């Protein structure tokens, strides 16, 4: 097996080499799915409106840019080509239809009804290209009551119930500080597309993969929703102190130490009490007490842990094989030996001075990491080349 290193995989070794993907999507969920397909060797052509392009080009997470370039857009759309096309221009639409007829995969996340008006919906496309695998992203799937609501990450989180799982009891609904709906939906779409490609390899038939922000968030909660629905629909009670999981007992949570924070997962409370020197915990005989007295027990642990350093407690708990971890911020994570061993970063460059440091594809194939150094394209950068190649 080849050792993990900083070199990129040759294209000929990538499993999706030779597949053509047309990406009509914008922002994060659709482009994330096609990014993964590109990482795996597919050729991804991003279809963008002339001039402005993907609205994600102007969506900044912060005021950070490099040489006027949006780092977020490059992170999501690296290793793709760009074809500019005006979807209100019948001539451009006809060119796109000819291109779609030769594509393996198409992805779109237009508002409901738009793709049908353009006659680029799956039913229409599949008549001329029955082998195509068609990915469609929406905010709320077949939930007609919310069909025309904005399909945006924070709003999907708000409607999914997920905000009630974070924070302590009494806190207001707490959203995740990440675009989890978009990210999860993108990964679900990629998984569905790959499954359809496998089926096509067997039967020759493509297919339609439909994903939504809401369904992805519901699936993300399947463990706790299953508990709720089979427990008399009794709502979980968040802990009033250092809540980390509404259905898990003490000591599950994050605690202050003298110089940082320590995360403690599930563990036998009497054993933990012995290790930490908390007599009250050593007297617990019934494991149910860890839930019934969750907040009381966690306060006892918190009072003890804040008296010594993180390193002190790790020395004791690690030796006893207790599930625990130092809580790292980004600087500590990136400087850690473990992070360096992962070879998780890559530099995107255009050879003209623009360089953006970002993460790589998160999995390995045949023992090697997957990296690609190509920045996101300029709007329409490859229009002429693609038009000539496909005789559009």
Report, as residue numbers or ranges, the catalytic residues.
182
Yes or no: say if 213 and 156 are a contact pair by the CB < 8 Å rule.
yes
- Residues 6 or more apart whose Cβ sits within 8 Å of residue 277: 304
Beta strand 253-256 pairing with 261-264: antiparallel
Please name the residue that has the structure tokens 């992962």: 342
CA distance 38 to 40: 5
Degrees, nearest 5: CA angle 228-234-238 = 85
Burial degree of 30 (CB within 10 A; 0-12, 13-18, 19+):
buried
- Please give, one letter per residue, the 3-state secondary structure of the chain: CCCCCCCCCCHHHCCCCCCEEEECCCCCHHHHHHHHHHHCCCEEEEEECCCCCCHHHHCCCCCCEECCEEHHHHHHHCCCEEEECCCCCHHHHHHHHHHHCCCCEEEECCCCCHHHHCCCCHHHHHHHCCCCEEEEEECCCCCHHHCCCCCCHHHHHHHHCHHHHCCCCCCCCCCCCCCHHHHHHHHHHHHHHHHHHHHHHHHCCCEEEEEEHHHHHHHHCHHHHHHHHCCCCCCCCCCCCCCCCCCCCCCCEEEECCCCEEEECCCCHHHHHHHHCCHHHHCCCCCCHHHHCHHHHHHHHHHHHCCCCHHHHHHHHHHCCCCEEECCCHHHHHHCHHHHHHCCEEEEECCCCCEEEEECCCCEECCEECCCCCCCCCCCCCHHHHHHHCCC
């Amino acid at each position: 097996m080849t050792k993990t290193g900083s070199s990129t995989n040759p294209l000929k070794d990538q499993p999706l080499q030779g597949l053509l993907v047309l990406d009509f999507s914008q922002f994060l969920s659709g482009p994330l799915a096609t990014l993964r397909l590109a990482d795996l060797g597919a050729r991804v052509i991003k279809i963008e409106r002339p001039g402005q392009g993907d609205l994600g080009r102007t969506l900044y997470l912060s005021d950070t840019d490099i040489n006027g370039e949006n780092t977020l857009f490059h992170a999501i759309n690296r290793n793709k080509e760009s074809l500019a096309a005006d979807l209100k221009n019948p001539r451009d639409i006809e060119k796109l239809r000819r291109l779609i007829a030769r594509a393996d995969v198409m992805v779109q996340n237009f508002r409901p009804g738009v793709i049908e008006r353009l006659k680029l919906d799956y039913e229409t496309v599949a008549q001329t290209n029955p082998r195509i695998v068609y990915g469609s992203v929406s905010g709320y799937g077949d939930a007609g009551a919310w069909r025309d609501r904005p399909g945006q990450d924070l709003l999907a989180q708000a409607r999914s119930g997920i905000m009630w799982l974070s924070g302590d009891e009494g806190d207001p609904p707490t959203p995740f500080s990440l675009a989890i709906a978009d990210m999860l939906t993108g990964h679900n779409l990629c998984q569905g597309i790959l499954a359809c490609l496998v089926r096509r390899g067997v039967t020759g038939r493509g297919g339609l993969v439909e994903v939504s922000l809401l369904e992805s968030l519901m699936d993300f909660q399947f463990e706790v929703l299953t508990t709720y629905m089979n427990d008399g629909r009794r709502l979980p009670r968040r802990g009033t102190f250092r809540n980390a999981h509404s259905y898990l007992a003490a000591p599950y949570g994050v605690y202050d130490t003298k110089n940082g924070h320590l995360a403690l997962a599930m563990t036998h409370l009497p054993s933990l009490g012995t290790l930490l020197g908390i007599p009250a915990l050593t007297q617990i005989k019934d494991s149910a007490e860890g839930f019934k007295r969750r907040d009381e027990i966690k306060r006892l642990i918190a009072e003890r842990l804040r008296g010594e350093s993180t390193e002190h407690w790790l020395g004791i708990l690690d030796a006893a094989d207790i599930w625990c971890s130092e809580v790292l911020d980004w600087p500590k994570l990136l400087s850690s030996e473990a992070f360096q061993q992962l070879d998780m970063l890559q530099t995107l460059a255009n050879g003209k001075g623009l360089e953006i440091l970002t993460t790589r594809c998160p999995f390995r194939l045949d023992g090697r990491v997957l990296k690609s150094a190509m920045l996101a394209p300029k709007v329409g950068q490859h229009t002429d080349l693609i038009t000539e190649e496909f005789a559009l």
